């Protein structure tokens, strides 16, 4: 509810001035390790709800539009989906490790050709690791589409923690901006078959 109200109605349940008790309840939850292990983020919630509920509908207010842009494109550290501070210093390393582990599947399911995705993904990981991209790297013409496709399909906490996802989404968006403003294929409102886990399974030989 916290995520959907923020995104579709422009309303924040964690506004301490308006709802101090609810804000304190969320903060108390974030002190429990059992909750932190399953904590999701706004982006994951608002885009997996429509197929489950038969639709989620914006009230099209100015604040709702601002919030939607924030959730979809960042800056992600500004989102009120967690009040935990500071972010873990190794959050970027968690993101890198998760991408490296599933790199082949990430590239395979992307709608853009493999060579373009691979180069763009390497540039993103370099940005995460070093804080800057290689100046001589040349990204393919569809790299913005490829990277935003990945950005929109990170699932928290299935894929990584909320802070690692913030780092990765931010790096994907920053890298995508260097080559264009195009979005990837839209997230379906009727199903989430783009979240099929089968290509990401690791089979071990007997």
| pLDDT tens, residue by residue, 71-107 | 999 999 999 999 988 889 999 999 999 999 999 999 9
Contact 135, 123 (CB under 8 A): no
Average pLDDT, the chain: 92
Domain edges within the chain: 2-76, 91-200
Following DSSP, what letter does each residue of the chain receive, concatenated? -HHHHHHHH---TT-TTT-HHHHHHHHHHTT-HHHHTT---HHHHHHHHHHHHT-------HHHHHHHHHHHH--GGG-TT----SPPTTHHHHHHHHHHHTHHHHHHHSSS-HHHHHHHHHHHHHHHHHSS--TT----TTHHHHHHHHHTT--TTTTS-HHHHHHHHHHHHHHHHTT-----SPPPSS--GGG--GGG------
Q: Quote the tokens at residue 35.
A: 């909750």
- Segment 25-71, tens digit of pLDDT: 999 999 999 998 899 999 999 999 999 988 899 999 999 999 999 99
- Is the pTM higher than 0.75? yes
């Amino acid at each position: 509810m916290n995520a959907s109200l923020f995104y579709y109605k422009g309303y924040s349940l964690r506004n301490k001035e308006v709802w101090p008790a609810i804000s304190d309840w969320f903060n108390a939850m974030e002190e429990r390790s059992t909750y932190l292990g399953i904590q999701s983020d706004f982006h994951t919630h608002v885009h997996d709800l429509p197929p489950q509920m038969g639709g989620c509908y914006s009230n099209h207010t100015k604040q709702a539009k601002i919030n939607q842009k924030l959730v979809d494109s960042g800056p992600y550290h500004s989102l009120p989906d967690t009040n935990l501070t500071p972010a873990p210093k190794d959050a970027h390393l968690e993101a890198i490790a998760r991408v490296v582990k599933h790199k082949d599947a990430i590239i395979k399911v992307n709608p853009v050709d493999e060579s373009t995705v691979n180069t763009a993904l390497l540039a993103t990981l370099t940005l995460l690791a070093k804080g800057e991209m290689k100046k001589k790297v040349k990204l393919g013409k569809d790299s913005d589409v490829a990277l935003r496709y990945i950005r929109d399909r990170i699932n928290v906490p299935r894929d990584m923690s909320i802070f690692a996802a913030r780092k990765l989404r931010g790096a994907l968006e920053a890298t995508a901006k260097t080559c264009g403003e195009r979005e990837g294929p839209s997230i379906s409102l009727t199903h989430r078959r783009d979240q099929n886990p089968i290509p990401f399974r690791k089979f071990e030989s007997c």
